[in-house]
Amino acid sequence: MRQPALAVVFVLILALAGCGTPSREAAGHRPGGPQPFELTVLHINDHHSHLDPEPATLQLATGDGRREPVTVERGGFARVVGAIRDLEKESSHVVKIHSGDASTGDLYYTLTEGRADAELMNAVCFDAFTLGNHEFDNTDAGIKRLIGFLHEDKCKTPVLSANVRFGASSPMHGTVPPETVLPSVVLERGGQKIGIIGLTVAGKSKNSSQPDPDTVLLDEATMAQAEIDRLRSQGIDKIILSTHIGYRADQALVRELSGVDVVIGGDSHSLLGPDNLKEYGMTPEGPYPTRSTDRDGKPVCIGQAWQYGYVVGEMRVRFDAAGEVSDCTGTPWVLLGDRFSRGDQPLNAAETAAVRADIDAGKVLRITAPDPQAEAILAPYAKQKEAMGATVVATATDNLCLRRVPGNQRDTSRSSLGDACNANERVNAHGGDIQQIVAEAFLQQGKAFFGADLSIQNGGGVRIDLPKGPVTIKDVYTVLPFKNTLVQLNATGAEVKAALEDAVEGVAGPAGNTGCYPYTGGLRWRLDLTKPKGARLSHLEIRAADGSYRPFDLNATYKVVTISFLADGGDSFASLKNITGERRVEVGLDYAEAFLKYLEKLPGEHKVLRPLPVREYSTQRFVDSL
């Protein structure tokens, strides 16, 4: 332990240097004060109402050192509950944190407006829950409703955000603890006080979600430091930031702050962990924990737990007697079921034993039984979700044909509706009706969230026709069955054209991949596959607010909405992968839910869905090379 005289000298030095932040010594570290201490932080983030387990294909060793694709259940909130209950038995001092975005992303949220999520979260009984940007998707009233659900249980998890200020017109204005949103909460473990401060991403929440007009989100760093200083002035020197600002932003933030020890993050859906995750077919974005330093050079430990309840983070943080972080270790446990198959065929006993041995050796995958209590909580909501799938959400006045590539030479037998679509003159000239409607739906959701100018969707990402007649929720999730979310890209016109040319090359080139043919909402062109790459798209025009079209400016910057798969460079859209940093914003809305929201806003009681006017199809003219 440091000597009191040295502590006094250190405080004087800081004062003379003009530093207004209280030192750790001034916060109460004197002889006879705190002793070395270890704290375990169990955490999740961005579960986005994904309460069911989902199938995953991992590269697992089935024998003789051979790795191959093996299908297994991953995640599910009942499994999250089971893992956290098991892990907290292994440590003396535990805090449990959810770093935001419980809301939006699955039918459970559409069905229950957050009640199902809250009841499962209460089965964990988190010590803190930070508001994410998607908690604002249904205005401030949605936050009040979610807090109400959380606090129906005796758990009453504190809801945090130090940088949110609710306006006078907000239903959250004037609420009092525990129903309000707090800047921080102070817990005690083993006689030690631990402060947890919440931070919500400011610009994204205001620009891409729907907080009430007079609700403001203040600068994250400024408000974090103010709350750190307030807690430290009370003698609380173990400070955790529960942030919902993204992994890269977390790393930048800690370098601006003084007095933070741990950051438990969310928003960017970042998988952190050891390199051996790559052996299983996963790509970590950084180490877990990620070690950094604050502006004073003091160590800070950063963690995040991927997405959708796939991972429970377990971070062990050791503090010395002066309250400084001396070390941090941990594991981002990837939660798996115990049934393994090759395609539709279960592995045999020997192969299953080899897979289990591989999992045990890797020390990062965790076979976890779902918690029975959590399964019982979820069961009635699961039945409602299944029944909801039969709900009619629109009526198609015509067959909405599936076609990846226009023309009569490629992809002309994919439709389940036969010649009604395969020989359809409009489809041959301009491409799939349903693909074009999906692109338009994404554009309209992008406009609602951040004022999007255009959307981009790949033809192969839309899976079925919609025949004339009723359209159900199940149909929507069959049309768009993948786990994609919407992404905002701030791209130049030249970058957009390059990405479209990349995709068209995937069709025209040796791969002959019809699935990457591009569809856009708000942008149209002429396409000639006989020309070389880079010169195939011409007469590009973008739709104006009044519905007219004007020339597409290659030098202008446009707000583009697309899906996460394409933003990551999938299906030959390679140029989109280069749009990173502040130019890429994870909107986070499930893409099937985005389509549902589009259908809900169709005019009329019966929500009539019909093919778009031909002038709004992205491909206005098509010349094939075959």
CA–CA distances in Å: residue 292 to residues 198, 250, 275, 302: 19, 10, 19, 7
Residue spans per domain, the chain: 34-387, 389-623
CB-CB neighbours of 33 under 10 Å: 15
Interior/surface letters 242-256, b for 16+ CB within 10 angstroms, e for the rest: bbbbbbbbbbebbee
Q: What is the pLDDT of residues 415-436, one digit of tens each?
A: 878 788 988 999 999 999 999 9
Instruction: Specify the higher pLDDT residue, 2 or 304.
Output: 304
567 token code pair:
């933003």
Length of the chain (residues): 626
DSSP code of 210?
A: -
Closest by CA to 458, choosing from 402, 514, 417, is: 514
475 token code pair:
């149909």
Torsion of CA 53, 58, 63, 64, to 10 degrees: -160
Q: How far apart are CA 404 and CA 624, in angstroms?
A: 13
pTM of the model: 0.75
pLDDT of 511 reads 67
Q: In what order do the strands lie in the sheet with 619-623?
A: 549-551, 537-543, 523-528, 619-623
pLDDT of 31 reads 41
Phi, psi of 615 (to 5 degrees): -65, -15
Q: Is 408 helix (H, G, I), strand (E, B) or coil?
A: coil
Residue 536 near residue 508, CB atoms below 8 Å: yes
Render 355-387 in DSSP notation, one character per residue.
HHHHHHHHTSEEE-PPPHHHHHHHHHHHHHHHH
392 token code pair:
């009619």
CB-CB neighbours of 12 under 10 Å: 10
pLDDT of 504 reads 96
Q: Is 589 helix (H, G, I), strand (E, B) or coil?
A: strand
Closest by CA to 205, choosing from 270, 122, 255, 130, is: 130
CB-CB neighbours of 513 under 10 Å: 20
Distance in angstroms between the alpha carbons of the first and the last residue of the chain: 79
Q: How far apart are CA 536 and CA 528, in angstroms?
A: 5
Phi, psi of 588 (to 5 degrees): 85, -10
Q: Is 546 helix (H, G, I), strand (E, B) or coil?
A: coil
Residue 37 near residue 319, CB atoms below 8 Å: yes
Max mean pLDDT among 195-209, 396-410, 548-562, 601-615 falls in: 548-562
Q: How far apart are CA 327 and CA 333, in angstroms?
A: 20
Render 466-484 in DSSP notation, one character per residue.
B-SEEEEHHHHHHHS-S--
pLDDT of 172 reads 97
Q: How far apart are CA 467 and CA 176, in angstroms?
A: 52
pLDDT of 32 reads 44
Helix and strand totals (H; E) in the chain? 17, 31
Whether 343 has a pLDDT exceeding 60, the answer reads yes
Q: What is the pLDDT of residues 138-190, one digit of tens each?
A: 899 999 999 999 999 999 999 999 999 999 999 999 999 999 999 999 999 99
Residue 104's pLDDT band, with cuts at 50, 70 and 90, is confident
Judge residue 374's burial from the number of C-beta atoms within 10 Å of its C-beta, 0-12 exposed, 13-18 middle, 19 or more buried.
buried
Residue 459 near residue 435, CB atoms below 8 Å: yes
Q: What is the helix, strand, coil percentage profile of the chain, to 5?
A: 35, 30, 40
Q: How far apart are CA 566 and CA 31, in angstroms?
A: 58
DSSP code of 398?
A: S
Can you state the angle between helices 372-388 and 77-88, rounded to 10 degrees? 170
Residue 603's pLDDT band, with cuts at 50, 70 and 90, is confident
CATH of domain 389-623: 3.90.780.10
List the beta bridge partners of residue 293. Answer: 299
484 token code pair:
């994609």
Q: How far apart are CA 402 and CA 459, in angstroms?
A: 9
Residues in Cβ contact with 610 at an 8 Å cutoff, skipping those fewer than 6 apart: 396, 397, 398
Phi, psi of 139 (to 5 degrees): 65, 180
Q: How far apart are CA 352 and CA 356, in angstroms?
A: 6
Which one-letter amino acid corresponds to residue 299?
P
Q: What is the pLDDT of residues 469-517, one digit of tens each?
A: 999 998 998 888 777 889 999 999 999 999 999 999 998 987 678 889 9
124 token code pair:
């964990």
- Of the chain, the percentage scoring pLDDT greater than 70 comes to 94
Q: How far apart are CA 215 and CA 164, in angstroms?
A: 7
Residue 567 near residue 456, CB atoms below 8 Å: no
Q: What does the pLDDT average to over 453-460?
A: 96
pLDDT of 106 reads 81
**CATH level 3 topology of 34-387:** Purple Acid Phosphatase; chain A, domain 2 (3.60.21)
Whether 370 has a pLDDT exceeding 60, the answer reads yes
Q: How far apart are CA 340 and CA 336, in angstroms?
A: 10
Phi, psi of 509 (to 5 degrees): -80, -170
